[in-house]
A and B are shown apart, each in its own frame.
Chain A
Amino acid sequence: MSFITGVGLTAYGRHEGSSSLDLMSKAAELAVSDAGLKRGEIDGVLCGYSTVSPHIMLATVFAEHFGIRPSYAHAVQVGGATGLAMTMLAHHLVEAGVARHVLVVGGENRATGQSRDASIQALAQVGHPDYEVPLGPTIPAYYGLVATRYMHEYGVTQEDLAEFAVLMRSHALTHPGAQFHDPITVADVMTSKPVALPLKLLDCCPVSDGGAAFVVSRERTGETGVRIAGCAQAHTHQHVTAAPALSELGAEISVAKAKAASGVSISDVRYAAVYDSFTITLAMLLEDLGLAGRGEAAARVRSGHFGRDGAMPLNTHGGLLSYGHCGVGGAMAHLVETHLQMTGRAGNRQVRDASVALLHGDGGVLSSHVSMFLERVR
């Protein structure tokens, strides 16, 4: 068994003067304290990467900076899926008895530490260096390609996609740590600046500073336990040119394996935390995961299904699209919010019942997938 025993999250947006290590440390301190542990009790560290401050040994750089001497430590790199991939590894590490309390941490000063062009340029390098990057694509363009194809095959419109941006923004309005606090409408999304059509500015997540962390432990440390019921991965390709057909993408594979590993089915799920780098990402993943029928996710947004008071509350902190995206920490905020919901600590965002949650992360261009079920135990 493994439990998420503590979580920590900074506000996302601009943290002038904070380094990646500062943001990681801040989130880590919050998570360790939330778990009711002392730093010295942390015997495992998993961290992501920082595009602003690349290092070949970031986990030990962090451990030294934070002031701990773990018996197990290294970095993990799976793009946007890194946070859940680290959580999956921590789950297996504590189950195998390699460590008792694994600190999972990500943080980056991606907004203030480098120019937006530098961020976009760094991220575009997930493309093939010989066959894609010379064509000048950007991350929004890779997802723009997926979007036109998805819209073509399933009759999804740009207005449909805009609904997801509006939903995430409406959730962010209720979280003080979110990067954006101005309400938006479908019309605002439709008239926002074109980035890589069909994706416009408000279809895209921002570049943010921020940090997130959690502790994965063999035994629960608090009254309410949040247990990792099961998780799985799937990796079908790296480059969008080599991606399989839309019906054969990795999310469907990883969620099927996670269901088998956990014994949880989609009808058991009461809360969803799904990767939302772009509106198309969220629309596709919801349908791939079985949280909506093909081409029907937008209709479910319109009917309130994914709202705080709906049948399947989704990313109640505002997601990457509106809470913000600081790299590895970006999607870790989804898990932090899920934990707060499951332990009844989400305040004015609290949903009725978050007893079982499905989390899903995506790295690259729908290349790497991690699905995870969490279950509350008392």
Chain B
Amino acid sequence: MSGNEQALADWTSGTDSIVYQSCGACGTLQYFRRSFCAACGTPDPAEKRASGEGTVYATSLVCRAATPETRAHVPYNIVLVDTVEGFRMMAHGDNDLSIGDKVTARFARFAGHLVPHFSRTEA
């Protein structure tokens, strides 16, 4: 980061957290971390922690994996989740999730990485 914003640690570096960025100038949210807002170019978007709540946008149950490490986990469900904050992210999810399900994130170990894993939100 080039300015006064501190990068918050998240699951991509092994911390139990989902982090996104919010542009102070135009308000656009982005999930992939950058030192600028991809919508307007303003530097140093604010880093925020997401609640881990969202809705399933799409799923795909992987039954054929390509590496020995990931093959140990098949089948595993790759999901796209639209978070309540308003950005979309890829994660793992329970195998029986359907599009439109309200979900909550926890964190799990997968092939040597920490990954976000979504389950249906408890009513």
Task: Please list the residues of chain A having a beta carbon within 8 angstroms of any beta carbon in chain B.
Answer: 117, 120-121, 124, 128, 130-132, 134-138, 140-149, 152, 193-199, 239-242
Contact check: which of B63, B67, B90 meets A135 at CB < 8 Å? Answer: B90
Q: Complex Cα distance A195/B63, Å?
A: 5
B62 pairs with A137, CB closer than 8 A? yes
Flag if B66 contacts A124 (CB, 8 Å): yes
B113 touches A141 (CB 8 A): no
Instruction: Give the shortest distance, in Å, between B110 (CB) and chain A (any CB).
Output: 7
Knowing that A144-B60, A149-B58, A242-B31 touch, tell me 13 more A-B residue pairs with CB under 8 angstroms: A131-B12, A134-B113, A135-B110, A135-B115, A136-B62, A137-B62, A140-B64, A144-B62, A145-B79, A149-B80, A152-B99, A193-B63, A194-B61
Residues of B within 8 A of A240 (CB): 80, 90
Contact between A135 and B91 (Cβ–Cβ < 8 Å)? yes
B69 — nearest CB in chain A belongs to which residue? A136
Residue in B58, B75, B91 with the greatest tally of chain A CB atoms within 10 Å:
B58
Q: Are A146 and B61 in contact (CB under 8 A)?
A: no
Distance (whole angstroms) from the CB of A109 to the closest CB of chain B: 19
Given A141-B78, A148-B99, A241-B90, decide whether A136 and B57 contact each other with a Cβ distance below 8 A. no
Q: A12 to B93, alpha carbons, bound, how many Å? A: 38
Within 8 A of A (CB), among B41-81: 57-67, 70, 73, 75-76, 78-80
Measured CB to CB, the closest approach of chain A to B65, in angstroms, equals 6
* B64 and A194 form a contact (CB under 8 A): yes
Q: What's the nearest-Cβ distance from chain A to residue B31, in Å? A: 7
- Please state if B80 and A147 are interface contacts (CB–CB under 8 Å): no
Report the nearest A residue to B32, measured CB to CB: A131
A130 proximity list for chain B (CB < 8 A): 12, 32-33
A320 to chain B, nearest CB (A): 18
Main secondary structure of the interface of B (DSSP, over half): strand
Is there contact, CB below 8 Å, between A137 and B90? Answer: yes
Taking CB atoms, residues of chain B closer than 8 Å to A137 are 60, 62, 78, 90
Are A193 and B32 in touch, CB under 8 angstroms? no
B58 to chain A, nearest CB (A): 4
Chain B residues near A (Cβ < 8 Å): 12, 31-33, 57-67, 70, 73, 75-76, 78-80, 88-92, 99, 110-111, 113, 115
- Chain A residues with CB under 8 A of B76: 136
Cα–Cα, bound, A142→B90 (Å): 10
Give the residues in chain B near A120, CB-CB below 8 Å: 66
Determine how close the nearest CB of chain A comes to the CB of B97; give it in whole angstroms.
Answer: 10
CB atoms of B66 and A145 under 8 A apart: no
CB of A138 within 8 A of CB of B99, answer no
Bound CA span A98–B110, Å = 52
User: Distance (Å) between the CB of B34 and the closest chain A CB?
Assistant: 11
Closest approach, in angstroms, between the C-beta of A160 and any C-beta of chain B? 17
CA of A239 to CA of B32, assembled, Å: 10
Give bound CA distance, A42 to B115, whole Å: 52
Once the chains bind, are B61 and A138 in contact (CB under 8 Å)? Answer: no
A146 touches B88 (CB 8 A): no
Complex Cα–Cα for A196 and B58 (A): 13
Task: Tell me which of A121, A146, A193 contacts B64 (CB under 8 A).
Answer: A193
Min C-beta distance of B56 to chain A, whole Å: 9
**Least CB separation from A239: chain B residue:** B32
With A117-B67, A136-B73, A136-B111 in contact, do A197 and B31 touch (Cβ < 8 Å)? Answer: no
Give the distance in Å from the alpha carbon of A299 to the alpha carbon of B87 in the complex: 35
A134-B80 in contact (CB<8A): no
Contacts of A121 in B (CB 8 A): 66-67
Decide: B12 and A145 in contact? CB cutoff 8 A: no
**A–B complex contacts, Cβ < 8 Å, 24 sampled:** A128-B90, A134-B110, A134-B115, A135-B78, A135-B91, A135-B115, A136-B62, A136-B67, A136-B76, A137-B60, A140-B64, A141-B62, A144-B59, A144-B62, A145-B79, A148-B60, A149-B58, A149-B99, A197-B61, A240-B80, A241-B31, A241-B88, A241-B89, A242-B31
Q: Count chain B CB atoms within 10 A of each CB in A146, A195, A198 and give the residue with the most.
A: A195
Provide the residues of chain A in CB contact with B89, threshold 8 Å.
Answer: 131, 241
Closest chain B residue, CB of each to CB of A197: B61
**Cα A162 to Cα B62 with chains together (Å):** 19
Q: Which of B33, B64, B67 counts the most A-chain CB atoms under 10 A from its CB? A: B64
Contact B113 A196, beta carbon cutoff 8 Å: no
> In the complex, A140→B63 CA distance in Å?
10
Given the complex of chains A and B, what is the CA–CA distance between A345 and B117 in angstroms?
54
Q: How far is the CA of A141 from the CA of B90 in the complex (A)?
A: 11
Contact A196 B90 (CB under 8 A): no
